């Protein structure tokens, strides 16, 4: 029987590339997004259902899953991909935007997972793939909110790895490095208050680094992450973590090898903050 994957955040970037890859490999795809009416490509593909799912809207989670089951019979894999990054001095963020970051990247992931687990338990099988980041195991300045959510995804996923195994359900974490997607555009939320003068040297240093000509030199295409997701889903192992991109491998190896003072000192030196 043809297998089915449900993908959140499939309108662009990693989600869209993964939908295309799984479709090309003969899978049924439930490609979900907040504005499915804007899609012109995935909806034209056979065995792809494009439907609305906003991870902050409980009703859309339930309806998207039911629509997928009604069309394809079951859901074998859930890819929790929807998310965005909030950066800036923590003090400058209003609480409603802080809550939005955690509601999207953490609570939304949890609720979507909870929504599919009864179905997978009844089938005695399934795979949950959660998109984390190198930012789930290391941090950059001004990323308290984004990194907080991705560290949470790592902990949630690792704990789930234990408990879901008894139900025949695998849990996987994919950790991309820098990816050539629109993360710096609509998937990026930056807040600053220039009157908080103490934070401005860090803000300027970070944007100088991100705006440099070589900032995206090591960025991997979204298709590379899709291939890592494909491996995580199909390799038949209980491996928990998968890195995506040469920079992810290098940075996470360096972080693992360094103590806190060494790593933080190196980061500050790179940004000219020493």
What residues are annotated to the active site? Answer: 132, 146, 150
| 251/205 Cα distance (integer angstroms) | 20
Helix, strand, coil: what percent of the chain each, to 5?
Answer: 50, 15, 30
Is residue 94 packed enough to be buried (19+ CB in 10 Å), middle (13-18) or exposed (0-12)? exposed
- Is residue 53 within 8 A of residue 8, CB to CB? The reply is yes
| 262/271 Cα distance (integer angstroms) | 14
Tell me which H or E stretch contains 86: strand 85-87
Three-state secondary structure readout of 41-63: CHHHCCCEEEEECCCCCHHHHHH
| 132/177 Cα distance (integer angstroms) | 10
Radius of gyration of the chain (CA): 19
- The bridge status of strand 77-80 relative to strand 4-7 is parallel
Per DSSP, the three-state class of 20 is: helix
**Beta strands, E only, 83-204:** 85-87, 126-131, 169-176, 188-190
Residue written as token pair 């220039």: 194
Q: From the CB of residue 136, how many other CB atoms can be counted at a distance below 10 Å? A: 25
- CA 181 to the chain's CA centroid: 12
């Amino acid at each position: 029987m043809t297998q089915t994957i449900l993908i959140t955040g499939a309108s662009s970037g990693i989600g869209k590339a993964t939908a295309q890859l799984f479709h090309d490999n003969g899978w049924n795809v439930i490609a979900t997004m907040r504005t499915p009416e804007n899609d012109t490509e995935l909806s034209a593909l056979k065995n792809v259902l494009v439907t609305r799912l906003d991870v902050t809207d409980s009703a859309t989670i339930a309806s998207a899953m039911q629509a997928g089951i009604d069309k394809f019979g079951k859901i074998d894999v859930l890819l929790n991909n929807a998310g965005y990054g909030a950066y800036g001095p923590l003090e400058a963020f209003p609480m409603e935007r802080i809550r939005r970051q955690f509601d999207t990247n953490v609570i939304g992931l949890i609720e979507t997972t909870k929504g599919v687990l009864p179905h997978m338990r009844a089938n005695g099988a399934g795979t949950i793939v959660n998109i984390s980041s190198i930012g789930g195991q290391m941090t950059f300045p001004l990323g308290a909110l984004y990194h907080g959510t991705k560290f949470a995804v790592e902990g949630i996923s690792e704990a789930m790895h234990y408990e879901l195994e008894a139900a025949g359900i695998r849990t996987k974490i994919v950790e991309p490095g820098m990816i050539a997607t629109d993360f710096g555009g609509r998937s990026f939320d930056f807040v600053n208050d220039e009157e908080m003068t103490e934070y401005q040297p860090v803000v300027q240093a970070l944007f100088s680094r991100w705006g440099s000509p070589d900032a995206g030199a090591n960025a991997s295409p979204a298709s590379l992450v899709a291939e890592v997701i494909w491996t995580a889903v199909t390799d038949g192992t209980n491996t928990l973590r998968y890195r995506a991109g040469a920079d992810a491998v290098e940075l996470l190896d360096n972080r693992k090898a360094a103590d806190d003072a060494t790593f933080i000192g190196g980061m500050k030196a790179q940004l000219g903050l020493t």
